[in-house]
Chain A
């Protein structure tokens, strides 16, 4: 049975002292009316529903890959309309600036000339691809889908933790979490009016098809595909989901071929032209004639077709230069530079370790800070100071001294918490929120997004590969709570 816990040490999404916040009251009242058995049974049915439907991700280990489901926690993150409105504006602003930045770095580089972003940060970035400089990008849009990770600090203030502008995954979980929530816990929806997710997929399909390649005339019907690495890819379910929902063909590299700079699909009746590729494989693997020679996932000569303007590739090639953890520091400046606006949602304070003064300061406080590799993701190569051993800190000190440009540091943020239910009991867990921004001729923000929860008690790592789980995210409609 749910019992309020001590919520004073961190910002809590649901509780204020030992009382639920106003927008959580109907949920809370429903929650305490359930018996322990009911909760336990519902929880089990919800978990097995993910397994039965094969909504799994692959964890690579010593024995090849094992399939796992991301644990689902039924206590939703509920966000009032006003708070969401700010987030939505903030996300649109940020993605707009990031897109202008990407277009700029692959063209004139005004931001470098203005001295706002150091040139070395671009030139030395492994994800900056000189091969696509000046490429003709439909709508000049480099970011079709972005996943921006938000956190709340101890005062409940939202901050951006990370931008994902390459292949942000997790959108299928947003829909599946809602689906399972509706199926297994319909009672909770009583007394709430929340934003639905359904229509957003239509926007997504429209946004995808708005990327008409330069050489495909207006009256021609566009054929779009989703390029996956295949069934063994960790995010394969995400790919299946998106292809199915947008009604586009799910393809692998071996299904495509380039002839005379045109991309074709190998069908049972011969070759069929492809105009838009929403790819979910990394840049490096896209074209073995230009990038990694050993790539089995890509398509030879696709880059030439892309540069010629015969095919659109989404997200654009080379977006990694903008979502690097070091470049992150400059995003607020990008917003000021390109949009002449102040950032609506702040960054988390970040120290660049290449800077000697900042490095010295950080090295003295490794036990209090979080250190991250600028190129890594998913919680890998990361030091969480307060939870670390002296040996690990020593290891990171050496790593930093050896390649200071490779690391950044941030204060240990007291990530907000929300109750989670596992093994028959409730306890507070840290959460973050991945917000999905879809951009074509218009920009849409998926209402809510993926709330990720660090289910291991006390842990700050929410990534699914590190044992994190997911929660449904509700955005209350203007009408507010009917309670």
Chain B
């Protein structure tokens, strides 16, 4: 497979996952907000956290002076200067899908293209009413989920499929680590109880957790989101999936010199996520999650170097 094409497929995987997750996070936050008063000290802080998870709070504060709800929602959904706004993400997915149209199922292209076209003619009302915004977010999530279904049911399990999937798992692992990290950093503002529930809600694993565990303690939830290999949103699950897929690409050989750095990075991550939060102090937990997040963020470039940023090797 062409390196450039692999790159595009990888980014389709990442951006699609990001679109779905961000839409879910914004939707969750809007719902939580309804029960809060504008004067609650948590209100603004929670939105800061969301801005940070779905974009960059620094970029937002550099451009906007206030934290009006409409402005924040606009920034997250449509701002063209926000590379992670839903609108920008959909444009990027469509461009990458266009770039690989000869390799992806036509249905996948049509799904994203239709969403893109519908956004060209009709956007959410300027008023951003709660109802309109949540309807819009539901539509975005449905498209993302349908696209995932199309990938799973129509794509041959070749390298094209594998690169899309790796993109998705890298994105998910990194995002879960980021969400937990930001919540831990805000624990002094949010009550611990809220932070724990938020962690599960924002990572969309609340239902998954409550089905399996009765007690909701912070160390339990932390272990669940970092190291539980059955939790589909956990870092450990994502890393495991990436490793298996990479082994498939490398035909089960971990010895190729060019892939060494990548396998080492994966092994380090596998080890670190298995630590037990119940044995740590509050500070240690923060450091632990920070380290996981850093390693997850660093893995993307390592993976990229392994497959397409290096000068290609001459094959005999």
Tell whether B244 is near chain A: CB-to-CB under 8 Å. Answer: no
Task: Give the interface centre of B3, B6, B159 by most chain A CB atoms within 10 Å.
Answer: B3
Q: Pick the interface stretch among A17-25, A33-41, A264-272, A290-298.
A: A264-272
Is A54's beta carbon under 8 Å from chain B?
yes
Nearest residue in A to B109 (C-beta to C-beta)? A54
Instruction: Give the total of A residues in contact with B, Cβ under 8 Å.
Output: 27
Partner of A268, one of B98, B106, B117, B159: B159
Shortest B201–chain A CB gap in Å is 35
- Chain A residues near B159: list those with CB within 8 A: 268
Chain A residue contacts of B4, Cβ below 8 A: 252, 254-255, 266
Is B131 interfacial (CB 8 A cutoff)?
Answer: no
| B34: Cβ under 8 A from any A Cβ | no
* A267 adjacent to B95 (CB under 8 Å): no
- Taken together as a complex, chains A and B put the C-alpha atoms of A181 and B314 apart, in Å, by 48
Contact between chains at B98 and A54 (CB < 8 Å): yes
Which of B2, B6, B313, B315 sits near A251, CB closer than 8 Å? B2
Instruction: State whether A255 touches B3 (Cβ < 8 A).
Output: yes
B307 contacts A by Cβ under 8 Å: yes
Q: How far is the CB of A468 from chain B (nearest CB, A)?
A: 23
What are the residues of chain B within 8 A of A249 when measuring CB–CB? 2
B257 contacts partner chain A, Cβ-Cβ < 8 Å = no
**Complex Cα–Cα for A264 and B316 (A):** 12
Output the least CB separation between B24 and chain A (Å). Answer: 26
**Contact at A231–B99, with CB atoms within 8 Å?**
yes
Which applies to chain B's interface (DSSP): helix, strand, loop or mixed?
Answer: helix
Instruction: Give the distance to chain B from A244, nearest Cβ to Cβ, in Å.
Output: 4
In the complex, residue of chain A having the shortest beta-carbon distance to the beta carbon of B311: A266
| A269 touching B315, Cβ below 8 Å | yes
Q: Is A250 part of the binding interface, using a Cβ–Cβ cutoff of 8 Å? A: yes
CB distance from A69 to the nearest CB of B (A): 11
A245 nearest CB across to chain B (Å)? 9
Q: Which of A236, A243, A250, A254 has the most chain B CB atoms closer than 10 A to its own CB? A: A250
A52 contacts B110, CB within 8 Å?
yes
Chain B residues with CB below 8 A from A267, complex form = 1-3, 312
Cβ of A240 < 8 Å from any Cβ of B?
A: yes
Taking a contact as CB atoms under 8 Å apart, the answer to whether A268 and B313 are in contact is no
> Which residues of chain B are within 8 angstroms of A116 by Cβ–Cβ distance?
none
**In the bound complex, do residue A231 and residue B110 qualify as a contact, i.e. CB atoms below 8 Å apart?**
no
A113: CB under 8 A from chain B?
A: no
Q: Are A240 and B315 in contact (CB under 8 A)?
A: no
**For the complex, what is the distance from the CA of A251 to the CA of B1, rounded to whole Å?**
11
Given the contacts A54-B98, A252-B4, A255-B2, A266 and B312 also touching, CB distance less than 8 Å = yes
Q: Does B92 contact A (CB under 8 A)?
A: no
Q: Which residues of A have CB within 8 Å of B307?
A: 268
Q: Does B308 lie within 8 Å of A250, measured CB to CB? A: no
**Assembly CA distance A269 to B1 (angstroms):** 8
Indicate with 1 or 0, residue by residue over A270-300, a CB within 8 angstroms of chain B CB atoms.
1110000000000000000000000000000
Nearest B residue to A243 via CB reads: B102
Report yes or no: B98 in contact with A270, Cβ–Cβ below 8 A. no
Q: Closest CB-CB distance, A345 to chain B, in whole Å? A: 35
Closest Cβ of chain A to B170, distance in Å, is 16
B114 close to chain A: CB less than 8 A: yes
A51, CB-defined interface residue at 8 Å? yes
Tell me the count of chain B residues lying within 8 A, CB to CB, of chain A: 24
Residue A53 is within 8 A (CB to CB) of chain B in the complex: yes
Chain B neighbourhood of A243, CB < 8 A = 102
Q: Which residues of chain B (88-134) have a CB below 8 Å from chain A?
A: 95, 98-99, 101-102, 106, 109-110, 113-114, 117
* Closest-CB distance, A30 to chain B (whole angstroms): 29
How far apart are the CA atoms of A249 and B4 in the complex, in Å? Answer: 12
A230, A231, A250, A266: the one within 8 Å of B3 (CB):
A266
Which residues of chain A come closer than 8 Å to B102, judged between CB atoms?
Answer: 240, 243-244, 250
Please determine whether B98 and A52 come into contact, CB atoms closer than 8 angstroms.
Answer: no
CA distance A53 to B95 in the complex (A): 14
Q: How far is the CB of A44 from chain B (nearest CB, A)?
A: 14
A263 CB to nearest B CB, Å: 13
Neighbouring B residues of A250 by C-beta, 8 Å: 102
Contact of B315 among A54, A230, A272 (CB under 8 A): A272
Cross-chain contact B314 with A265 (CB below 8 angstroms): no
| A270 with B110: CB separation less than 8 A | no
Q: In the complex, which residues of chain B have a beta carbon less than 8 angstroms from the beta carbon of A271? A: 312-315
Q: Would A54 and B113 count as touching, CB distance under 8 A?
A: yes
Cβ–Cβ < 8 Å partners of A231 in chain B: 95, 98-99
Give the distance in Å from the alpha carbon of A47 to the alpha carbon of B241 in the complex.
42
Known contacts A240-B102, A244-B102, A266 near B2 by CB under 8 Å = yes
> 8 Å CB contacts to B: which residues of A185-238?
230-231, 236
Give Cα A54 to B312, complex, Å.
Answer: 33
Q: How far is the CA of A52 from the CA of B4 in the complex (A)?
A: 25
- Which residues of B are found within 8 Å of A236, using beta-carbon distances? 98
Residue on B nearest A249 in the bound complex, by CB? B2
Are A51 and B117 in contact (CB-based, < 8 A)? yes
**Interchain CB contact under 8 A, A52 and B314:** no
Alpha-carbon distance between A252 and B98 when the two chains are bound, in angstroms: 13
Rank and list the top 10 A-B pairs by shortest CB-CB distance, nearest first.
A270-B313, A244-B102, A270-B315, A268-B307, A270-B312, A240-B101, A250-B102, A231-B98, A266-B312, A271-B312
* Additional 5 contacts, C-beta under 8 A, given A54-B110, A236-B98, A259-B314: A54-B101, A54-B109, A270-B314, A271-B312, A272-B315
Q: What residues make up the interface of A, taking CB atoms closer than 8 Å to B?
A: 51-54, 230-231, 236, 240, 243-244, 249-252, 254-255, 257, 259, 264-272
A to B CB contacts below 8 Å, 26 in the list: A51-B117, A52-B110, A52-B113, A53-B110, A54-B101, A54-B113, A236-B98, A240-B101, A240-B102, A243-B102, A250-B102, A254-B4, A255-B2, A259-B314, A267-B1, A267-B312, A268-B1, A268-B159, A268-B307, A269-B312, A269-B313, A269-B315, A270-B314, A271-B314, A271-B315, A272-B315
